[in-house]
Structure 1
Amino acid sequence: MTSGPTPRAVGPTAEAPPGTVRMPEVKQERVDALRRMKRLAVGLLLFAAAVYVLCRVVGDGEGAWGYVQATAEASMVGGLADWFAVTALFRHPLRLPIPHTAIIPNKKDQIGEGLATFVREYFLTTEVLGERVVAARVPERVGEWLADPVHAQRLSEELSSAISGMANVMRDEQIRTSVAAFADKRLRQLDIAPLLARLVDAVCDAGQHQAALSTFLRGARKFLDSNRSEFRQRVAMESPEWVPDWLDERVFNKGFSLLQSFLTDVIDDDTHGLRKGFDTQLRELAEQLRTDPTRIAKVEAARDQLLDHPRIHEYLNDLWDSMKTLLLNETGDPDSDLRRSAESLTVRAGEVLRDDPQVRDRVNDALRRLSGHVATHYADDLTDVISSTIARWDTEETSRRLELQVGRDLQFIRINGTVVGALAGLAIYTLTQLF
C-alpha cells in the first residue's frame, strides 16, 4: 500500500485558485528518490503480509509457525499504522475524510502564521541580530575585499559603467534646465561681497597685488615707448599755434622722460609710496566689502546684472552638457584621474576598515543599531512575507512539495514501524508462551 499519489516533477496544479502563487518546478532526482523509498516501505509491508498468508496456509499456528505468524501480524500492524500516520500529514488516507487527517492541506495557513511567529520571536530580535552582525565581521571582511587593488579596480569599473549608463538615459533637456536654474539660484543667494573681501585679503597677504601692479606698470612703460610718436603728435595738435615746434619737442621729451622715470622708480622700488597707497586702498576695499552696506549693495547689484546677461544664461544652460561630457570622458577612460582617484580611495577605505579597530567598532555599532531598528519596527512586515506567501500557495501543490522535501525521511518511519512492529510482536508472543 502506498501513501497516496507520488508527487509529479512538474509544478502546480492546472486549476489553481485565484490569487495563488505558482511554485517553481522541483528536480526529478528528488521525485525519483521519494518513489524508491515508497517502494521499499511498501515492499516490506507486502513481505510481512506474504509471510502471514504463508503461515496461515502452511502452518498450524503451533510451534515455530506461531512465532513467525505473530511476528508477521505485528509487522503488518506497525507498517499500516505508520503508513496511516505519514499519509495523514499530506492527504486523507484512501481518500476517506477521517478526522485529523490531511493536516498540512487543512492547516497550511496556520502553519505559515506559526512559522512567521517563530521566526519573529526567535530570529528577528535585537539580541539575535546584534550577535549575528558582530559574528559576521562585516567591516573587516568588506575592508579586506576593498583593500585588494583588483577588487577596487573592478568596483571602479562597475561604478563608472553605472554612472555612464545613468548619464546616457537621463533627459538632457530637463536636466539642463534644472541645473541652470539651480546654479542661477545658488549664485544669486551667494554673499559675494564677503567672498571678494576674503579674496582681496588673500591676494594682499600673498603679495600678488604688488606683482600684478609691477606687471601693469611694465606694460604701461612698454606701451608708452611703442606709441611715443603718437603721443608726440597728439601734443603737437593740442599745442597753440604760436608755440614753436622746438619748444613743443623739448617740453614733450622732458615730460615723457619724467613719466618713464617715475614708472621705473615704482617698478624697481618695493617700498615706493605708490605701492603703499595701492596696498592701503585694497585693504580699505576689503573692509568696505565686509562692513559697508552701500558697497555690498553695489556688488550684489553688479552680480545680479552679470547673471542677467544673455551670455551668462547661455553658459549656465550649457553647464550640464559640459559636466556630462567631462563625466563621461573621465569615467570611460581607465587611466583618468577620476578613475585612479576612485580606486585609490577605495583601497584606502578598505585598509581603514580592515586595520583600524576603532573604525570597525563604530561600523559594527551602526550596523547593530540598524538591525535593532529593523527588528523593532519592521519584524512584523518581514515575517508577514512568510505567512502571506504560504497563504497564497496552492494547497495541494504545497502538500506535494513538502512531501518531496521530507517524504523520503518519513518513509523511514514506515520502514521502522514495520520492523519494530515485527520485533514487538515476536517479543510479546514469546513472553506469552513463556508465562
Structure 2
Amino acid sequence: MPSNDPTAAGSRGDAAKLAALRRTKLIATGALCLCVALFAVSRLLQPRYPWLGFVAAFAEAATIGGLADWYAVVALFKRPLGLPIPHTAIIPANQNRIADNLGRFIEINFLAPAPVREKLQEVDFAALVADWLSDPHRAEGLSRFVARLVPQTLAAIDRSGLRDFVAERMLAQLDRVQIAPLAAELLSAFTEDRRHQKLFDQLTRVIGGFLADEDALAAMREKIRNELPSLFNLFRADAYLLKKIVASASGLLEEMRADPEHPLRHEFDRFVHKFIEDLRTSKAYARRAEAMKRDFLARPELKSLTGDVWESLRRLIEQDAAAPDSKIREHLTGMFVEVGRNLARDEAIRADMNEGFVVALSSFVESQKSGVSGFIADQVKRWDLGQLTHLMEINIGRDLQYIRFNGMLIGGMAGLVLYVGELLFLDR
C-alpha cells in the first residue's frame, strides 16, 4: 500500500534527485575523460593522419572548457580537490549573506503590496464563509463553541466592571429623556382611532360594579343618613335617595356604554386631548415629570433591581448554555445557517466582505513582511552547512552539470575555430 507520509514522500523525492545528479555527474566526467583520451590519440596519430589535427584541436579545447566548468560548478559548493583556493565553496562561505539576501528578495518581490493584493483578490473569502456557515453541522459546532464561551464572557464582564458601566450609561441616557413630551407621544399613539374609549368603557364597568356592591351601597347610605335631618331619616329618606342615585347613575352608565357618540364620551375625548397637549407644551407639567423621573432614578432600589436582573439573566443564560437541549445553541445554529445562506445570495455584501478581507490581510502582510523575511533569513542561517549544501546541490546540481557539457561543447568549437584560423592565416 502506498504511504501517505509527506516526510517519506520527500525522502523518496530527494533520493530520486540524488540518483539523477550522480548519473549526470558520471556522464559529464566520462565525457571529459573521453575528450582527454581523444586528444591523446589524435595527437599521436596526427603525423600519419593530418586531418586528426582538427579532432585534436576540438578535444583539447573541450577538455579545457570541461575542466574550467567543472571547477566553477564544484567551487559553488566546496573547495575543489580540498585545496584552500580563494573564492571557492561560495555557498557555505556566504551562508549569512545568502540568507539575508534571500529574505530581502522574498520581502521585496513576493510580499510587495501590489502582488499580495492581486493574489488576495483572486480568493472569494465571503463565498468560503457562506459555504462554511450554510452547513448545519458546522453551524452547530460553531454554536457549541460560542456557548462554551458564555460563562467566561459573563465572568469577564463582571470582573471588568462593564456591567456597572452599562447600567450607569443607561441611567444617564434615561436622565436625558424628557418624560412629558415622550408621554404625550405615547398617549397620542394610544388615542388614535379613539382607542382610549376602551379605557372609558372599563371605567364605566368599574363604576357599575361599585354601584352593585352591597358594602359600597351601605357606606353610601350611611353617608346620606348622616347628612340628612333626623326627621327625614324617620321616613327612610336615605334609602329612597340612595335608590334614586344608584338608578340614575346606572342608567347613565348604560347609556354611555350603548352610545358611541354620547356627550360624555366626547367630553372624555376633549379631556384626554387637552391633557396630551398640556404634557407636550406645559412647562409646569414638564418640571413635575422631570422631578418624578429624577426621584425615581435616584432611588437605591433601582440599582439593586438592575443587579438582581443581571444576576437572574446570567444564571438563566449559563443554565441554558449548559443544557443538552440549549435554546441558545439552537437559535445560534439557525442564525449562523441563515447568515450563510443570505450571504451566498447577496453579491453586494460578498463584494464588500471580500474587499474588507483584502484590505485587512494585505495590511497584515505589509506590517509583518519584515518579520517574515527575518524569519526566513534566521532559518537559513541555522541550517547545517552540510545540509544547506546538500539541499541546494540535489535541487540545482543536475542543471549545473549541464554547464560542463556546454563548456566542453563550446570550448571544443572555439578550439576548432582557432585551429582553422591558425591553418589559414599563420601557416602561409
Compute the TM-score of the two structures, normalised by the length of structure 2: 0.72
Whether 1:381 and 2:367 are equivalent positions in the alignment is: yes
For structure 1, list consecutive stretches of 5 or more residues without a partner in the other structure. 1-23
Q: 3-state SS of the aligned residue for 2:196? A: helix
Whether 1:276 and 2:266 are equivalent positions in the alignment is: yes
**What is residue 7 of structure 1 aligned with on the other side?**
none
**Letter of the structure 2 residue corresponding to residue 395 of structure 1:** K
Q: 3-state SS of the aligned residue for 1:302? A: helix
Distance in 2 between residues matched to 1:137 and 1:154, nearest whole Å: 24
Do the aligned residues in 2 keep the contact of 1:44 with 1:415 (CA within 8 Å)? no
Structure 1 residues 363 and 77: alpha-carbon distance in aligned structure 2, compared to 1, 3 A threshold: same
Whether 1:157 and 2:140 are equivalent positions in the alignment is: yes
**What is residue 43 of structure 1 aligned with on the other side?**
26
Q: 3-state SS of the aligned residue for 2:346? A: helix
Q: Alpha-carbon deviation of 1:214? A: 0.8
Distance in 1 between residues matched to 2:140 and 2:86, nearest whole Å: 64
Whether 1:124 and 2:124 are equivalent positions in the alignment is: no
Q: Alpha-carbon deviation of 1:166? A: 3.4
Do the aligned residues in 2 keep the contact of 1:78 with 1:421 (CA within 8 Å)? yes
Q: Alpha-carbon deviation of 1:312? A: 2.9
Q: Alpha-carbon deviation of 1:112? A: 2.5
Identical-residue share of aligned pairs (%): 19
2:183 to 182, 190, 196: 196
**Letter of the structure 2 residue corresponding to residue 333 of structure 1:** K
For structure 2, list consecutive stretches of 5 or more residues without a partner in the other structure. 1-6, 424-428
**What is residue 168 of structure 1 aligned with on the other side?**
151
Do the aligned residues in 1 keep the contact of 2:184 with 2:279 (CA within 8 Å)? yes
2:289 to 295, 299, 303: 299
Q: Alpha-carbon deviation of 1:398? A: 8.2
1:207 to 182, 191, 194: 194
Query: Mapping of 1:230-309 within 5 angstroms?
Result: 230-236=216-222, 239-240=225-226, 241-242=230-231, 243-244=233-234, 246-309=236-299
**What is residue 97 of structure 2 aligned with on the other side?**
106
Q: Deviation digits for residues 248-272 of structure 1, max 9, x if unmatched?
A: 2111111111121222222222222
Specify the structure having the higher radius of gyration (Cα): 2
1:415 to 387, 391, 401: 401
Q: Deviation digits for residues 165-219 of structure 1, max 9, x if unmatched?
A: 3322122534443343333222222233322111111001143211122123213
Structure 1 residues 195 and 43: alpha-carbon distance in aligned structure 2, compared to 1, 3 A threshold: same
**Letter of the structure 1 residue corresponding to residue 236 of structure 2:** W
Counting matched residue pairs gives 395
**What is residue 164 of structure 2 aligned with on the other side?**
177
**What is residue 186 of structure 1 aligned with on the other side?**
173
Compute the TM-score of the two structures, normalised by the length of structure 1: 0.71
What is the CA RMSD across the aligned residues, in angstroms? Answer: 4.5
Distance in 1 between residues matched to 2:128 and 2:108, nearest whole Å: 37
Distance in 2 between residues matched to 1:189 and 1:158, nearest whole Å: 43
Distance in 2 between residues matched to 1:77 and 1:430, nearest whole Å: 13
Do the aligned residues in 2 keep the contact of 1:34 with 1:404 (CA within 8 Å)? no
**What is residue 327 of structure 2 aligned with on the other side?**
333
Q: 3-state SS of the aligned residue for 1:393? A: helix
Structure 1 residues 310 and 163: alpha-carbon distance in aligned structure 2, compared to 1, 3 A threshold: farther
Distance in 1 between residues matched to 2:234 and 2:362, nearest whole Å: 101
**What is residue 4 of structure 2 aligned with on the other side?**
none
Do the aligned residues in 2 keep the contact of 1:179 with 1:320 (CA within 8 Å)? no
Structure 1 residues 200 and 244: alpha-carbon distance in aligned structure 2, compared to 1, 3 A threshold: same
Distance in 1 between residues matched to 2:83 and 2:206, nearest whole Å: 110
**Letter of the structure 2 residue corresponding to residue 248 of structure 1:** D
Whether 1:28 and 2:22 are equivalent positions in the alignment is: no
Do the aligned residues in 2 keep the contact of 1:79 with 1:418 (CA within 8 Å)? yes
Distance in 1 between residues matched to 2:163 and 2:236, nearest whole Å: 68
Distance in 1 between residues matched to 2:416 and 2:372, nearest whole Å: 53
Do the aligned residues in 2 keep the contact of 1:160 with 1:332 (CA within 8 Å)? no
- Of stretches 233-242 and 181-190 in structure 1, the one that deviates more from structure 2 is 233-242
Q: Alpha-carbon deviation of 1:285? A: 2.6
1:351 to 345, 351, 370: 345
